[in-house]
């Protein structure tokens, strides 16, 4: 399903290429096979633009969904998502500094993702320092601090948009805030992909401990799980993955909040199953959303965040009405 979706991501787009051509170019790209000079434009579209974009969509979708699961367990809150820790809005400050004022100009094409990642790390350190007390990281403090920082960073971003000269720069800042995979290329795949894989591995190994943590810190302790340490681990993993993902895709909302819930509605609350299903579902969802964002108003691209909501909300409401699903007494 995932592979098929990635292939579709490479196959569907604004310039009409036949499926035969797409498959031939994919094969050529994978095997390094020969192509004739007149095929170069089509090859470039398939191999250099669409394919990495589909792969990146899968990486981002999987990452956001997995981190959504982790954060909801970490703060034991149904409304939590990867952005509740204030990390994405921190990343937005860095990204907009680049988009609007040309900061980090020396880094060239890497400026945007570097700035976003660095400011995500800075935001994470701030939130961690403010939220932690002698008693460790408590869920409520974490959510409150993250939310407060979110508004703080958003204010800085908004101010920057206003202060900047109008026009294209403000438009790309807006695009970034709503999320877009338009900047995808092969260079952006390894770092985000690596971070997501490492994060997924850690979460999968911790799935049973996540179950214990979901039952409460005291219960976790009685089951031999150090809740404080696990929460610190989750915080670092979530922050690093969110930072890496947001750096290449902007702040794509909704996926990290809803995909975990949708996964739980289908397979139940056991994190071993949720963590097997949610990243796949998130990856497939985001690939298709990205395809739609490119073709609906082609050649204009819609922000991905708009479409994740447009598609996700009705699906979610349907699922919720069909099954008796409880989280947070809902």
Partner 1 sequence: MRIDIDALTVEIAGARLVEEATLRAGSGQVVGLVGPNGSGKSTLLRCVYRALRPSAGMVRLGGEDLHALSAREGARRLAALPQEAVTEFDFTVAEVVAMGRLPHQRSVARTGDDDRKACEAALVRVGAGHLAERGFLALSGGEKQRVLIARALAQQPQVLVLDEPTNHLDIAQQLEVLALVRGSGLTVLTALHDLNLAALHCDLLHVIDSGRIVASGAPYDVLTPQLLAEVFGVRAHRVPHPESGAVQLLFDRLLPTQPAS
Distance of closest approach, residue 259 Cβ to partner 1, in angstroms? 16
290 CB-contact burial (10 Å; exposed 0-12 / middle 13-18 / buried 19+): buried
Point out which residues pair with 136 in neighbouring strands.
Answer: 133
Nearest Cα to 265, choosing from 320, 317, 208, 210? 320
Distance of closest approach, residue 108 Cβ to partner 1, in angstroms? 42
- Residues 6 or more apart in contact with residue 95 via CB below 8 angstroms: 112, 115, 116, 119, 173, 176, 247, 250
Distance of closest approach, residue 220 Cβ to partner 1, in angstroms? 8
Distance of closest approach, residue 271 Cβ to partner 1, in angstroms? 9
Distance of closest approach, residue 195 Cβ to partner 1, in angstroms? 21
Residue 78 near residue 139 (C-beta atoms within 8 A): no
Residue 197's alpha-carbon distances to 59, 155, 178, 263, 291, in angstroms, are 9, 33, 24, 19, 23
121 CB-contact burial (10 Å; exposed 0-12 / middle 13-18 / buried 19+): middle
Nearer to partner 1, 160 or 230 (CB): 230
Nearer to partner 1, 101 or 327 (CB): 327
Nearer to partner 1, 103 or 276 (CB): 276
Nearest Cα to 66, choosing from 249, 297, 270, 255? 255
Nearer to partner 1, 20 or 329 (CB): 329
Nearer to partner 1, 26 or 71 (CB): 71
Nearer to partner 1, 217 or 290 (CB): 217
Residues at the interface with partner 1 (CB under 8 A): 73, 76, 78, 134, 204-206, 208-209, 211-212, 214-219, 221-227, 264, 268-270, 324-329
Distance of closest approach, residue 234 Cβ to partner 1, in angstroms? 14
């Amino acid at each position: 399903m995932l592979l098929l979706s990635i292939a579709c991501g490479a196959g569907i787009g604004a310039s009409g290429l036949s499926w035969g051509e797409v498959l031939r170019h994919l094969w050529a790209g994978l095997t390094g096979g020969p192509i004739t000079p007149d095929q170069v434009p089509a090859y470039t579209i398939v191999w250099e633009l669409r394919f990495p974009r589909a792969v990146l969509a899968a990486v981002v979708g999987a990452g956001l969904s997995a981190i959504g699961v982790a954060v909801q367990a970490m703060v034991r809150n149904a409304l939590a998502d990867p952005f509740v820790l204030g990390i994405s809005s921190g990343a937005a400050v860095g990204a907009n500094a680049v988009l609007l004022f040309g900061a980090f100009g020396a880094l060239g094409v890497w400026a945007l993702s570097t700035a976003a990642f660095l400011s995500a790390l800075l935001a994470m350190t701030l939130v961690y320092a403010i939220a932690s007390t002698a008693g460790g990281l408590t869920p409520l403090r974490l959510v409150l601090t993250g939310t407060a920082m979110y508004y703080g960073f958003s204010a800085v971003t908004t101010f920057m948009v206003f202060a900047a000269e109008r026009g294209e720069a403000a438009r790309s800042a807006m695009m970034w805030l709503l999320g877009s995979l338009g900047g995808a290329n092969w260079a952006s795949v390894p770092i985000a992909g690596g971070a997501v894989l490492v994060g997924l591995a850690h979460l999968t190994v911790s799935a049973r401990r996540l179950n214990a943590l979901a039952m409460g810190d005291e219960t976790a302790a009685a089951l031999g799980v150090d809740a404080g340490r696990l929460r610190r681990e989750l915080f670092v993993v979530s922050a690093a993955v969110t930072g890496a993902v947001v750096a290449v895709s902007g702040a794509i909302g909704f996926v990290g909040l809803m995909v975990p819930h949708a996964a739980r509605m289908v397979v139940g609350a056991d994190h071993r199953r949720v963590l097997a299903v949610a990243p796949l579902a998130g990856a497939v969802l985001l690939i298709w959303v990205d395809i739609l964002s490119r073709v609906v108003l082609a050649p204009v691209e819609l922000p991905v965040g708009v479409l994740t909501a447009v598609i996700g909300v009705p699906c979610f409401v349907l699922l919720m009405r069909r099954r008796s699903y409880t989280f947070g007494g809902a």
